[in-house]
């Protein structure tokens, strides 16, 4: 089946630093990758959609200068949280589509970010 990995699985950083999260599709080419954020006891919130080789499309209310997304290849997308603050602490999940079923999204295991 389609496998998506994320790295790191958890990260703790100081306020003001930047954190990069990688999302990789291991056994298929992901034409589209999605980045979600999930706060405790809440549902997934889509942050942005990225297609390989083009700029990401950000959801309303998501600062594109703060959450930098790069989808440089069909197997890798990165999310960089710049100048992180405690309120950015959350569970960040990526998903990828482009596998056997166009409509299906395959999720990475998520990255738990804690900003001190």
Partner 1 sequence: GQNIDQPTEMTATEGAIVQINCTYQTSGFNGLFWYQQHAGEAPTFLSYNVLDGLEEKGRFSSFLSRSKGYSYLLLKELQMKDSASYLCAALDSNYQLIWGAGTKLIIKP
16 Rama class: left (phi>0) / alpha (psi -120 to 50) / beta: left
Residues 6+ apart with CB under 8 A from 111: 6, 7, 8, 9, 10, 11, 21, 91, 92, 93
**Minimum separation from the CB atom of position 3 to partner 1 (A):** 12
> Which residue, 34 or 67, is less far from partner 1 as judged by CB?
34
From candidates 7, 13, 46, 66, binder to partner 1 by CB under 8 A: 46
SS3 letters for 48-100?
EEEECCCCCEECCCCCCCCEEEEEEECCEEEEEECCCCHHHCEEEEEEEECCC
**Minimum separation from the CB atom of position 36 to partner 1 (A):** 8
> Which residue, 67 or 92, is less far from partner 1 as judged by CB?
92
> Which residue, 9 or 17, is less far from partner 1 as judged by CB?
9
> Which residue, 3 or 17, is less far from partner 1 as judged by CB?
3
List the interface residues with partner 1, window 52-111 (CB under 8 A): 91, 93, 101-110
Give yes or no for a contact between 13 and 84, defined as CB atoms under 8 angstroms apart.
yes
Q: Is residue 44 part of the contact set for partner 1 (CB under 8 A)?
A: yes
Positions that interact with partner 1 (CB under 8 A): 34, 42-46, 49, 91, 93, 101-110, 112
């Amino acid at each position: 089946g389609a496998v998506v990995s994320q790295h790191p699985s958890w990260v703790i950083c100081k306020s003001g630093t930047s954190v990069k999260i990688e999302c990789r599709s291991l056994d298929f080419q992901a034409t589209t990758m999605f980045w979600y954020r999930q706060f405790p006891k809440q549902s997934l919130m889509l942050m942005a959609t990225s297609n390989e080789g083009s700029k990401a499309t950000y959801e309303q209310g998501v600062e594109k200068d703060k959450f930098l997304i790069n989808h440089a290849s069909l197997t890798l997308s990165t999310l960089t949280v710049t100048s992180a603050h405690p309120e950015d602490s959350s569970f960040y999940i990526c998903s990828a589509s482009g596998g056997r079923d166009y409509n299906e999204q395959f999720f990475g295991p998520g990255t738990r970010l804690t900003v001190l």
